[in-house]
């Protein structure tokens, strides 16, 4: 009997310890898994609390970092406001903006300029001396140059060693896919090509498509020899001339002057597969500084310098040095028009410029028309421009402190801890969102770092700036910027537009110095420079507390707390695993004892029964 019970016990032990599904209750009938689960729920309470605490720290970290992002934006704008150059906005007003317009840099002195006897600069241009087409068929600028060889009045491939050969009565080849082609490519389109059935021949796809009356027509790709019929040609032959080599490349070149008037040569090499538009696009996109186009209505090419002005005093702005320009496109440098400099008299001084836009004494003038009547340009301080810059900063400051104060005043709902995964399973998406809104609220409520930072910012803005040349404007309130009287605005600034604009008009430099003055002490330092230091100090404290995206856990306080919780959570999870295993071991022992008792009772009963 002992051996029998021992065997059953060993079998039961093996099931409970080695089977990860843990089968229990065979002897006792007890739902062990359910009991252990309830026991472990109580054991897990400290783990859940630590996980919730970790989540709260992460939310607090995120809120801190979002506040630092706001402060960084304000810091950057405040830094810009420490630079005098950002306030020195000038306006240039022309008496006739349709003839001369002007803009002024911040460094431009206040002045009035009298402009007379002005003539605008022009760009050099040229165009073909007559049509470049032969009239044999339409020149399609999108077809390959070789296909269009016969459409040019002067062949772009003339002079090349093409070594042509005649094909007489040569059979048209039908490809396996049903298409047709001639046996040779680079068909000479300056010679006739005939088919034995009299089909009409086109080298221009546009002309082929436009012909809707011919019963038999064929489009010939003279580069590849491919054929397109509008009918089934069957077995036909063709007579044509073709090149026996593929040396069909030619060179295109021209000269244009650089900014110093030195002629520069630009060259391009093209083969027969390129179209006229491809050639023109390559030239237009180059450093040659020209713009070309082909006009199909006149059959001529136009070419214009990209820059105005006369850069080549001894000759043309565009000098054509290849046969493609001079013969094929019929461009003659001697026919060039334009390429003149702008001339103008400014306050009695006559000057010339290559461009119609030029800068004098920090003022940029743009000639739009020839000046036939005097034009004045007045440069003055732009009061509205300075006002707009100050107002933009005030708006940014108000927006920043408003968002920070909103975080500081958020209510903390301690009855709404972070939800566990099990809790979320029993809630809808809307319920989860509403819960999280309360759970995440108040992470920075009454935070001392941010509250002290805002207080210090207000203090620095209210203080007087000593050592200014004009003591009439040595405080923010004196130029029309005051704290809102509404306490609910939490220190927002309000601008009296009329007072601020009057101060700027009265003494713009004094207003600028109030914001930008450099000093050896805090008292004689401008408001923006003071504020910049406060913002930086607050940001540093927030970074020490919550780090940034590049910080490691050991570099900021919340990170250390989170890391500590991670280690505690990991250790506690190991502890829970040990506790659970202990519970299961205890239930296993109980099952073994019950099983043994059952075996003993069965043995005794069988013994008494056998005695009868």
**What is the token pair recorded at 431?**
């319920």
Indicate if the pLDDT at residue 149 is higher than 60.
yes
Instruction: Report d(CA 37, CA 209) in Å as an integer.
Output: 83
Looking at per-residue pLDDT, the higher value among 289 and 591 belongs to 289
Indicate if the pLDDT at residue 492 is higher than 80.
yes
Q: What is the pLDDT of residues 164-205, one digit of tens each?
A: 899 999 999 998 888 999 999 899 999 999 999 999 999 999
Domain edges within the chain: 2-30+577-611, 64-86+385-410+445-549, 90-121+342-381, 123-131+248-335, 161-243
Tell me what percent of the residues of the chain surpass a pLDDT of 70: 94
Report the pLDDT value the prediction gives residue 14, as an integer from 0 to 100: 36
Residue 19's pLDDT band, with cuts at 50, 70 and 90, is very low
Indicate the DSSP class of residue 348: T
CATH fold group of domain 123-131+248-335:
Immunoglobulin-like (2.60.40)
Instruction: Report d(CA 489, CA 484) in Å as an integer.
Output: 7
C-alpha dihedral sign at 140, 146, 152, 157: positive
Indicate if the pLDDT at residue 501 is higher than 70.
yes
Report the pLDDT value the prediction gives residue 246, as an integer from 0 to 100: 64
In this prediction, residues 133-158 reach a mean pLDDT of 93
Residue 107's pLDDT band, with cuts at 50, 70 and 90, is confident
Looking at per-residue pLDDT, the higher value among 25 and 471 belongs to 471
Burial class (CB in 10 A: 0-12, 13-18, 19+), 140: buried
Report the pLDDT value the prediction gives residue 298, as an integer from 0 to 100: 96
Instruction: Report d(CA 340, CA 121) in Å as an integer.
Output: 5
Report the pLDDT value the prediction gives residue 585, as an integer from 0 to 100: 82
Instruction: Report d(CA 215, CA 194) in Å as an integer.
Output: 15
Question: How many helices (H) and strands (E) are present in the chain, helices listed first?
Answer: 14, 24
- Supply the pTM of this predicted model: 0.61
Contacts 24+ apart (CB under 8 A), 547-552: 547/61, 547/65, 548/65, 548/68, 549/65
């Amino acid at each position: 009997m002992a051996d029998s019970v021992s065997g059953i016990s060993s079998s039961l032990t093996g099931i409970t310890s080695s089977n990860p599904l843990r089968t229990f209750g065979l002897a006792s009938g007890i739902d062990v898994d359910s009991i252990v689960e309830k026991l472990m729920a109580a054991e897990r309470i400290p783990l859940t609390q630590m996980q919730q605490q970790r989540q709260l720290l992460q939310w607090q970290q995120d809120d801190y970092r979002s506040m630092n992002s706001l402060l960084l934006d304000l810091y950057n704008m405040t830094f810009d406001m420490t630079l005098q150059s950002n306030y020195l906005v000038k306006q240039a007003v022309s008496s006739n903006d349709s003839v001369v317009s002007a803009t002024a840099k911040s460094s431009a002195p206040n002045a009035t300029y009298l402009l007379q006897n002005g003539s605008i600069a022009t760009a050099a241009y040229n165009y073909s001396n007559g049509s470049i087409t032969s009239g044999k068929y339409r020149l399609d600028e999108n077809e390959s140059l070789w296909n269009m060889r016969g459409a040019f009045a002067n062949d772009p491939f003339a002079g090349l060693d093409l070594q042509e050969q005649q094909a007489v009565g040569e059979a048209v080849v039908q490809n396996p896919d049903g298409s047709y082609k001639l046996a040779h490519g680079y068909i000479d389109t300056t010679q006739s090509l005939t088919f034995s059935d009299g089909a009409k021949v086109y080298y221009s796809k546009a002309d082929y498509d436009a012909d809707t009356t011919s019963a038999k027509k064929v489009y010939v790709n003279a580069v590849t020899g491919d054929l397109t019929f509008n009918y089934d040609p069957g077995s036909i032959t063709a007579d044509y001339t073709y090149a026996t080599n593929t040396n069909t490349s030619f060179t295109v070149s021209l000269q244009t002057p650089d900014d110093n008037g030195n002629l520069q040569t630009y060259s391009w090499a093209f083969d027969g597969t390129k179209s006229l538009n491809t050639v023109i696009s390559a030239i237009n996109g180059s450093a040659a500084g020209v713009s070309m186009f082909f006009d199909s209505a006149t059959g001529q090419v136009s070419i214009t310098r990209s820059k105005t002005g006369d850069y080549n005093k001894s000759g043309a702005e565009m000098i054509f040095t290849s046969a493609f320009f001079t013969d094929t496109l019929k461009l003659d440098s001697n026919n060039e028009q334009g390429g003149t400099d702008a001339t103008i008299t400014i306050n009695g001084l006559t000057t010339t410029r290559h461009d119609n836009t030029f800068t004098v004494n920090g003022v940029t003038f743009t000639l739009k028309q020839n000046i036939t009547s005097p034009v004045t340009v007045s440069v003055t301080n732009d009061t509205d421009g300075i006002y707009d810059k100050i107002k933009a900063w005030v708006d940014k400051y108000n927006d920043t402190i408003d968002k920070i104060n909103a975080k500081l005043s958020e209510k903390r709902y301690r009855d709404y801890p972070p939800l566990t995964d099990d809790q979320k399973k029993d809630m809808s998406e809307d319920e989860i969102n509403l819960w999280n809104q309360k759970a995440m609220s108040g992470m920075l409520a009454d935070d001392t770092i941010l509250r002290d930072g805002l207080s210090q910012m207000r203090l620095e803005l209210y203080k007087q700036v000593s050592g200014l040349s004009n003591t009439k404007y040595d405080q923010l309130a004196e130029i029309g910027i005051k704290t809102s009287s509404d306490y609910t605005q939490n220190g927002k600034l309000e601008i009296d537009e009329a007072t601020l604009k009057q101060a700027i008009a009265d003494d713009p430099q004094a207003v600028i110095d109030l914001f930008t003055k450099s000093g050896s002490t805090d008292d004689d330092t401008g408001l923006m420079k003071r504020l910049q230091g406060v913002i930086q100090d607050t940001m540093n404290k927030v970074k020490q507390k919550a780090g940034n995206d590049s910080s490691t856990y050991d570099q900021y306080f919340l990170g250390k707390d989170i890391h500590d919780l991670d280690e505690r959570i990991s250790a506690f999870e190991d502890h829970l695993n040990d506790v659970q295993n202990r519970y299961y071991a205890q239930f296993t022992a109980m099952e073994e004892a019950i099983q043994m008792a059952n075996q003993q009772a069965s043995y005794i009963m069988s013994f008494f029964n056998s005695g009868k």
